[in-house]
Amino acid sequence: MFARIAGRYDLLNHLLSGNTDRRWRRQVAKRLGAALAPDARVLDIACGTGDLALAVLEAAPGARVVGVDFCRPMLELAARKAGRVGRRVPFVEGDALRLPFADEAFDGVTIGFGLRNLASVEEGLREIRRVLVPGGAAAILEFSRPVVPGFRALFQFYFSRLLPAVGGLLSGSRSAYEYLPDSVRNFPDQERLAALMREAGFEQVSFENLTGGIAALHVGRRGA
């Protein structure tokens, strides 16, 4: 599915979100950058076309960032994009549920709009924890549950009706843009995701709602 939409992925993200997706990634990068040393090793899981990895580098130019994704066409686009802005980022092919990295290899992990797509959120969180050093920081950006009821209903209409139609038309894959609202519906809300992080061994877990809870940024540190 991701290979099918890779070529139009960025365009549709920016178009369908009115560029809000860029702001959200910058917020994630800023939060993670503030939590880590300037030369921290950061893994961006489910990196797609590389936007979050590059946002981390913008916020923390000294960080050593690696991206991982299991979709080769996405990785090829990410590598080309990094080259265009003069960044050297290793973009590695690998499964988020079996990351090709040693235990405790990173000081920070980001995952943007990726956790929801994994076969198991719990296993994804355990794998994030595994590759983090004790005390290392995880920042999870994901669609969530709008907090104000009237706004939630309006957003649901946009997300479940308009978005699949426009996304399907422009990407050529309507099923991918029908899958998107379905996958968000089945994904844990803010509180539940925070609880799952704690259960997976993260401490100091907190979240902030982005754009009224359309998305949320969860952060936590790996316990000992």
Ligand X SMILES: C[S@@+](CC[C@H](N)C(=O)[O-])C[C@H]1O[C@@H](n2cnc3c(N)ncnc32)[C@H](O)[C@@H]1O
Which CB, 95 or 104, lies closer to ligand X?
95
Judged by CB under 6 A, the chain residues 32 through 61 that form the site for ligand X are 46-48, 51-52
Give the tokens for residue 92.
């590695």
Q: Does 118 bind ligand X (CB under 6 A)?
A: yes
Nearest CB to ligand X, comparing residues 74 and 109: 74
69 is an interface residue for ligand X by CB under 6 A = yes
Shortest CB 223 distance to ligand X, Å: 24
Q: Does 132 bind ligand X (CB under 6 A)?
A: no
What is the x/- site pattern for ligand X, positions 76-115, by CB under 6 A?
-------------------xxx--------------xxx-
How many Cβ atoms are within 10 Å of 83's Cβ, its own excluded? 11
Q: Binding of ligand X at residue 142 (CB under 6 A)?
A: no
Q: How far is the CB of 150 from ligand X (least distance, A)?
A: 27
Radius of gyration of the chain (CA): 16
* In contact, 179 and 111? CB cutoff 8 Å: no
- How many residues are present in the chain? 224
Answer yes or no whether residue 117 interacts with ligand X by CB under 6 A.
yes
151 is a site residue for ligand X (CB under 6 A): no
Residue 197, interface with ligand X (CB under 6 A)?
Answer: no
Q: Distance (Å, rounded) from C-alpha 39 to C-alpha 224?
A: 22
Closest CA to 108 of 38, 48, 24: 38
C-alpha count within 13 angstroms, C-beta hemisphere, residue 95: 6
Burial class (CB in 10 A: 0-12, 13-18, 19+), 9: buried
Instruction: Using CB under 6 A, list all residues that contact ligand X.
Output: 2, 46-48, 51-52, 69-71, 74, 95-97, 112-114, 117-118
